[in-house]
């Protein structure tokens, strides 16, 4: 069991362990204009003059603080025992806002997930789902899948994150390790187009089977239907202004 002095943020009450430090700049993947990224003069929000840098959290350095340190040590040690160099499987570890995320190379995802589930010192028995993320600016890894893992035995929570390029959107399915991921992976495939290799029945779950495209990608057109009022008709969103 985890030490009773630990709290939900992953830091310990005795003050000996401090949160992990990240580089101030993080990882810059692009620059964005306006509040919502609209281009072509279609931004009517009043925020068109905003300019901001799109930054992903950079890798953290040890000590990670709290139980994150123990989880990282146990995972790396278990991978070494299996003949896997941890640096090849874990691309980076990010501790940010009291949460830990292990960025995993997709070819090692199944092994890492099985290790986190089965190792007695880890025992992350539950995956509460997978979420898709589309970052068009993150060249070569535009699609991200994020898994939330919970240890019921030790009362701990960590995340795994895996990326894939738009041109090769394949990530191994975790259904054989966490069967409850079945519908979550179908939903992520339906909305983001991530192909989970090895899934027992990777079909759409919300959209019609013959639907074209993946509606939650950032480059997906808004579409829509006109709305009729008495004496007036409001055009569909994609006909009101330019979003390209």
DSSP three-state, residue 227? strand
d(CA 137, CA 56): 11
- Residues 6 or more apart whose Cβ sits within 8 Å of residue 133: 143, 144, 145, 146, 192
Q: What percentage of the chain has pLDDT greater than the value 90?
A: 63
SS3 91: strand
What is the residue-wise DSSP string for 71-83? HHHHHHHHHHHTT
Q: Tell me the mean pLDDT in the region 193-222.
A: 92
Q: Rounded to whole angstroms, how far apart are CA atoms 8 and 11?
A: 8
Nearest alpha carbon to residue 149 among 120, 119, 189, 122: 122
pLDDT tens digits, one per residue of 9-64: 444 444 445 555 555 568 888 888 777 665 655 566 677 788 888 888 899 999 99
pLDDT at 42: 58
Q: Could you tell me if 89 and 111 are in contact, meaning their C-beta atoms sit under 8 angstroms apart?
A: yes
Comparing CA positions, the residue from 108, 6, 25 lying closest to residue 64 is 6
Q: Is the dihedral of CA 15, 72, 143, 147 positive or negative?
A: negative
Rounded Cα–Cα distance for residues 110 and 171 (Å):
10
pLDDT of residue 2: 42
Return d(Cα 92, Cα 159) in angstroms, integer. Answer: 12
- Per-residue pLDDT for 92 more than 90? yes
Task: Give ∠ CA 72-75-79 in degrees, rounded to 5.
Answer: 140
Per-residue pLDDT, 4: 41
pLDDT of residue 151 exceeding 70, the answer is yes
What per-residue confidence (pLDDT) applies to 50? 86
Res 241: pLDDT: 63
Tell me the pTM: 0.81
From start to end of the chain, where are the E strands? 21-22, 27-33, 51-56, 60-61, 90-96, 99-104, 126-134, 143-151, 156-164, 170-172, 195-197, 227-229, 232-234
């Amino acid at each position: 069991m985890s030490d009773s002095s630990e709290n939900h943020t992953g830091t310990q009450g005795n003050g000996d362990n401090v949160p992990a430090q990240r580089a101030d700049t993080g990882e810059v993947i692009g620059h964005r204009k306006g509040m919502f990224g609209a281009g072509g003069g279609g931004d009517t929000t009043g925020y068109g003059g905003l300019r901001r840098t799109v930054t992903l959290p950079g890798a953290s350095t040890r000590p990670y603080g709290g139980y994150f340190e123990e989880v990282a040590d146990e995972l790396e040690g278990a991978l070494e025992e299996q003949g896997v160099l941890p640096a090849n499987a874990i691309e980076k570890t990010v501790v940010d806002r009291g949460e830990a995320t292990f960025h995993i190379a997709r070819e090692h995802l199944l092994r890492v997930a099985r290790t986190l589930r089965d190792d007695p010192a880890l025992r992350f028995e539950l995956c509460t789902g997978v979420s898709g993320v589309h970052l068009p600016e993150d060249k070569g890894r535009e699609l991200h899948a994020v898994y939330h893992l919970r240890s019921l035995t030790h009362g701990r929570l960590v995340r795994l994150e895996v990326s894939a390029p738009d041109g090769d959107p394949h990530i191994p399915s975790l259904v054989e390790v966490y069967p409850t991921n079945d519908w979550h992976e179908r939903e992520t495939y339906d909305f983001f187009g991530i192909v989970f290799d090895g899934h027992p029945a990777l079909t759409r779950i919300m959209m019609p089977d013959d639907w074209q495209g993946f509606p939650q990608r950032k480059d997906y057109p808004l579409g829509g239907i006109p709305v009729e009022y008495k004496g007036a008709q409001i055009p569909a969103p994609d006909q009101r202004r330019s979003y390209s």
